Amino acid sequence: MNKDKFKHYKIDEWTVSEVDLDFNYLNKSETLFSQGNGYLSVRGGFEEVYYGEQRNTFVSGVFNTVQGEHEVAELVNIADFTNTEIYVNGERFVMNPYNTKSYKRQMNYQTGELKRTLEWTTRDGIDLSIEFKRFVSLEDKHLLCASVSLLANKPCQITIVKSINGMVTNHGASHFEAGEMKYEAKKIGQFNQTTTQSQVTVSINSISNAYLNSAFVESFPQKTIGRRDLVSKYNFDLEENQELVLETISNVYTDRDLDHEPLNDVGLNQLIEVSNCRYDYFYDLNKIAWQKFWDLHDIRVESNDVIYQLNIRFALYHLRLMTPVHDNRMGIGAKGFTGEDYKGHSFWDTEIFILPFWIMSDPEVARNLLIYRYKLLNSAKEKAQRNGYLGAMYPWESGWITDLECTPEWGNIDVVTNKREPIWTGKKQIHITADIIYAMMQYVKMTGDQGFLDDYGYEMIYETAKFWTSRLEYNQEKDRYEILDVIGPDEYCEHIDNNAFTNYMCYWNIELAVQTFEKVDIKKYGQDSDLEQMKSILKKIYIPASDETGLIAQDDSYLNLSEFPELQRYKFEEKPLAIFKKYSMVHLHDYQVSKQADMVMLMLILKDKFSNQEILRNFDYYEQRTLHDSSLSYSMHAILAGQLNMPYYKDMFEKALEVDLNDDAQIAKTGIHAASIGGIWQNYVFALAGIGYYDGKLSIDPKMIDTIDQITFKLFYKGELLSFKVTERSVDIENLSRQNELEVYIMNKAYTLIESLSIELE
């Protein structure tokens, strides 16, 4: 990838801008320009309504299930309070190619501000300069600030209609009862709504102030309270070349929030207090908060192609946007916080793709995300019980901590068969249970947080190992324990037996339990006999071994299937998932065709278990058969390819980068891919800089690509904040915390890091 691939968007190291009014990019830009802070998010739609738009406003953790046979808990679309409709002499402001020029919309990832400027001409020939700005505050997670500025070349009447519109749904599913609304102080609107099943109350408050040529003018709106909306209409007589600015401060609170209690009028009272404050006041606070974030987390890239710098910042921005750093009762959605798809559910994406960033960037946040999984233990136990197993079987998809398995059992109706496609992942993609434990141990290793193990971790290890012992099936004939009828990471292979990834992870999970409870008293969690049972089972778990060429069977059947005749077409010519225009899932079961990394994933996670020869052989074999139809695929391939100096590396790396941030209007329309975003960060840190963990120590083994000259960044490791500068020929490390000396490996050589190290590579 390079910068020149961008036609519609203009990019620089902090921003993405569109300078063409092209409604084909409406949804794409909504995704790229999403704003939020892990608590509140809005998609980057226009202030005024357009056909085909997908407006979304989310508060993390506000899940609800609507009535209906196939419904599950989903992150709900709350009332829209970004809508701003402007009328000039009665004509509604709506952009089209005939009346709009000098259009520019810019998303600044450094500050989270989205700004639109344009010239608009009314039908009777009045020219207006219009500017919209808004941001979701990183400083105060409840706050969204917006501003619109208008300047006309002739006197005109301006009407600005601000609304809080509760007539919204998740693709037709309405999650709220009609709520209570009110106005205070003649102009502060409050809109409350309560979800129908989970009974969460969301309270939205909003105030607007007007300024003419920068001077405050008192303006009370015409107010309307409808069935499910609240509308404030502001009227102004604008003189020639006079500038009108209407600034709107809105906030959102819920009765699930931890930072206030009870809900009452907390949001309204906040607005009363700050009712005189201007947009820029809040903007400055927000900017400082973002600056703190960047000071710690930015990865600075030196390259002739600015895309590398932008891309990691785009990823870091979204990592912050998607993560509920303020709470530990909710996870990260598979679309981050940028769309309705996957219903806001958390998958293994969080642990395997995203958590590494937080472990090394803000361990406290990583800890919260793991406590979320601890709090889901009850749901996991319930799932195990319902499926006839012991211990804790983690839901494949999770919402709120008390929600049970959130994976729908049926997908949309297939237009060929007229039947709903069964979704087996909720029942069969069981590896997530081990993945969570794996991620937790990564956290513990990198932070040395023994307290976490004591308070949560040991119990999680016990319950998950217990699950695996009950899930394994004893094969009398072969005198071994097997895992039958699962789905591995490669979701094009369903109902398979002895998926290597799953079996290895199961083994790893039980082995961890055995090692743990040989040192820790198991009686706090179970019985001594549990440990004996785990030990005896462990010995006989079937772990697929490699053949003479080093190839390991992905599962019992894969290697016996036919080669997929249209591999080239769907791998190289068509867009991701195009295969389903012709094939349905059951057809794919007949072929050696993979959606995404499965063996590659395994060899990346449990790298120590495999020889380099095995890794190269399996990477080669399976990558050839992988369509990379999952956004989880390229990033993991790239890291492994990088670590093993494979020729695929740079190509995979670039493909991993362009999953979301690209110029294609059709890709990522419904939201970003959270796992891919985490994968981008991992590529910079684990592939380019080659950060790893070897022999109980931090290791650095850079694999820079030729188009990147240098990267610098900071990481936490065992309580020390380290800064890194990596080029193709050198590694510089400094311990900014300087509390303890650290043993590190650089290019497999051991060093002691006291204050700093500066190593020339050969």
Instruction: Just list the catalytic residues.
Output: 491
User: Does residue 233 touch a copy of itself according to CB under 8 A?
Assistant: no
Contact between 251 and 283 under an 8 Å Cβ cutoff? The reply is no
Counting contacts by CB under 8 A, is residue 124 touching a copy of itself?
no
CA distance 268 to 264: 9
Stretch that binds a copy of itself, among 109-117, 160-168, 388-396, 430-438 (CB under 8 A): 160-168
Q: Which stretch binds a copy of itself (CB under 8 A): 143-151, 165-173, 244-252, 378-386?
A: 165-173
Binding mask 11-40 for a copy of itself (x = CB under 8 A): ------------xx----------------
CB of 381 to a copy of itself, least distance (A): 30
Take residue 3 and report the two structure tokens written for it.
């910068």
Smallest distance from a copy of itself to CB 90, Å: 7
Indicate whether 167 belongs to the interface with a copy of itself (CB under 8 A). Answer: yes
Cα(75)–Cα(57) distance, integer angstroms? 10
**Distance between CA atoms of residues 204 and 165, nearest Å:** 10
Neighbour tally for 157: CB within 10 Å: 12
CB 50 to a copy of itself: min, Å? 8
Q: How far is the CB of 177 from a copy of itself (least distance, A)?
A: 4
Among 168, 406, 436, 687, binds a copy of itself (CB under 8 A): 168
Half-sphere exposure (CA, 13 Å, Cβ side) for 424?
A: 16
**185/217 with CB nearer a copy of itself:** 185
> Residue 738, Cβ neighbours under 10 Å: how many?
13
Nearer CB in complex with a copy of itself: 176/317 = 176
Query: Which region, judged by CB under 8 A, interacts with a copy of itself, from 127-135, 406-414, 463-471, 500-508?
Result: 406-414
Q: Kindly state whether residue 94 participates in binding a copy of itself, applying the rule CB under 8 A.
A: yes
Contact pick of 110, 117, 178, 544 for a copy of itself (by CB under 8 A): 178
Torsion of CA 4, 5, 10, 12, to 10 degrees: -60
Minimum CB–partner distance for residue 132 and a copy of itself (Å): 17
How many of the other CB atoms lie within 10 Å of CB of 68? Answer: 8
Selection from 415, 416, 399 nearest residue 407 by Cα: 399
67 binds a copy of itself (CB under 8 A): yes
Shortest CA distance to 600 belongs to which of 585, 627, 622? 622
Chosen residue from 36, 38, 45, 166 binding a copy of itself by CB under 8 A:
166
Q: Check residue 177 for interaction with a copy of itself (CB under 8 A).
A: yes
Residues 6+ positions from 399 with CB-CB distance below 8 Å: 63, 72, 73, 74, 75, 330, 343, 344, 345, 346, 406
Stretch that binds a copy of itself, among 179-187, 327-335, 653-661, 675-683 (CB under 8 A): 179-187
Q: Is 488 in the site for a copy of itself (CB under 8 A)?
A: no
Contact between 70 and a copy of itself (CB under 8 A)?
Answer: yes
Contact window for a copy of itself (CB under 8 A) among 50-58, 485-493, 635-643, 720-728 = 50-58
Whether 460 and 392 have beta carbons less than 8 Å apart is answered as yes
Give 660's DSSP letter. Answer: T
Nearer to a copy of itself, 410 or 474 (CB): 410
DSSP 477: T
In sequence order, which ranges of 345-488 are alpha helices (DSSP H)? 355-361, 363-375, 377-386, 425-428, 432-447, 450-452, 458-471
Q: What residues make contact with a copy of itself under the rule CB under 8 A?
A: 23-24, 48-52, 66-71, 90, 92, 94, 96-99, 123, 166-169, 171-174, 176-178, 180-184, 196, 223-229, 412-415, 418
